[in-house]
Amino acid sequence: MRWNISYRETWLHRTNPSLKLLVMLALFVAVLFVHNPNVLMNFSLGFLLLFFLYTGYPLKYLLLFFVPFFVIFVSTASSMTMFGEGTTTWFQWGLVHVTKESFLRGMHLGFRALSFALLGLLFSLTTRPVYLFYSLMQQLKLKPKYAYSFLAGIRLLPIMLEEFQTVRNALKVRGADAERGLNTKLKRYAIPLLSQSIRRAQRIAVAMEAKRFSNQTNRTFYYQIGFSKYDVIFLLIIIGITALACYTGIVLPYIPVTDVR
């Protein structure tokens, strides 16, 4: 059981992962402080374009990845719209009270959630964990100890998934799947899976040390990850999208509200 989706490499894949991570984190924080819904809408739109055009995955999968986040967008936006407070009433039915203010705030929150989702998706879809950790070690001086433990952990995930399937079958055969109660169910799965993982993690750690892995910092690297013209392109495009979103949001607003607070 593995995720084996082939994709086309784009400039987003070739950007330095540490740079990408820092820029994405900065944007994350920046989005928190945007209160103009026009700007946020433009921003989301810009990243939506990046997501569909430059992550290099087939459209089918992109849509599939996007579905859960779209659900989040709808649920965040609608709950704020229907239950938020406001003065200009548009519609009222029992507990549901839609006002102009609550609608705008709902939309704003929805787009904020969407921006977060897009930033996260863009990063995770275009970054191989191995490159990320090599880059973190080389550019941000992350200690190899942490980098390789994370990588070893990632390797365990598909193994755990397979084991989960086995445990499920085993429980089914023994009739244990008929038992009620979340607590019992959780225990049935957690104990065998965790005990296997803990033992496996300990063994991997010993195996790594047996291969002379130590805390020394002057190691050589199989993947030399540096900076290239793609990083310039990346920065230019991100700055471009952000600037354009701000400019059009302020100069050519869709709605005449500039602050939803």
Partner 1 sequence: MELVAFVDQLRLKFPGKEGLLFKDLSVSFSRGEKVLLLGPSGCGKSTLLQVLCGLIPHSVDIPMKAKHIQVPDNWGYVFQDPDSQFCMPFADEEIAFALENIRVPREQMDDRICELLQMVGLSIQPHTNIHELSGGMKQRLALASVLALEPDVLFLDEPTAMIDEEGTAEIWKTVKQIAHDKTVIVVEHKIEHVLDFVDRIILFNESGDMIADGDAASIFQTYKSVIASQGIWYPGVWEDYRKKRRNEQPASASDHEIIYLKEMKGYRKKEAKIHIDQASVCEGEWIAVTGKNGAGKSTLLHALMKLIPTEGTYELYGKQLQKTKQIARHMAFVFQNPEFQFVTHSVWEEMAYSLRLEKRTEEEISRKVEQLLAAFHLEKQRDQHPYQLSMGQKRRLSVAASIIGGQKVFLLDEPTFGQDAKNTFALLELLESYREQGATIMMVTHDEQIVQHFATRRWTIAEGKLVHDEPIIRKTTADEELGKEDASHEMEYKLS
Residue 215 interacts with partner 1 (CB under 8 A): yes or no: no
Among 33, 181, 220, 259, binds partner 1 (CB under 8 A): 220
Judged by CB, which is closer to partner 1: 79, or 196? 196
Among 13, 20, 105, 188, binds partner 1 (CB under 8 A): 188
What minimum distance in Å lies between the beta carbon of 207 and partner 1? 4
CB of 134 to partner 1, least distance (A): 10
- Does 261 participate in binding partner 1 (rule CB under 8 A)? no
- Touching partner 1, residues 124-183 (CB under 8 A): 130, 148, 151-152, 154-155, 158-159, 163, 166-167, 169-176, 178
Least spacing, CB of residue 187 vs partner 1, in Å:
9
In angstroms, the Cα distances linking 84 to 31, 70, 78 are 21, 20, 10
| DSSP code of residue 178 | G
C-alpha radius of gyration, the chain, whole number: 24
Give the whole-angstrom CA distance, residue 89 versus residue 94.
13
217 binding partner 1? (CB under 8 A): no
The DSSP H or E segment spanning 186 is helix 182-210
Q: Which residues of 220-250 are buried (b: 16+ CB within 10 A; e: fewer)?
A: eeeeebeeeebbeebeebbeebbeebbebbe
- Please report, as residue ranges, which positions from 47 to 106 form the binding site for partner 1 (by CB under 8 A): none
DSSP string, 223-244: S-----HHHHHHHHHHHHHHHH
**Residues comprising the chain, all counted:** 261
Contact footprint for partner 1 (CB under 8 A):
2, 130, 148, 151-152, 154-155, 158-159, 163, 166-167, 169-176, 178, 188, 192, 195-196, 199-200, 203-214, 218-222, 224
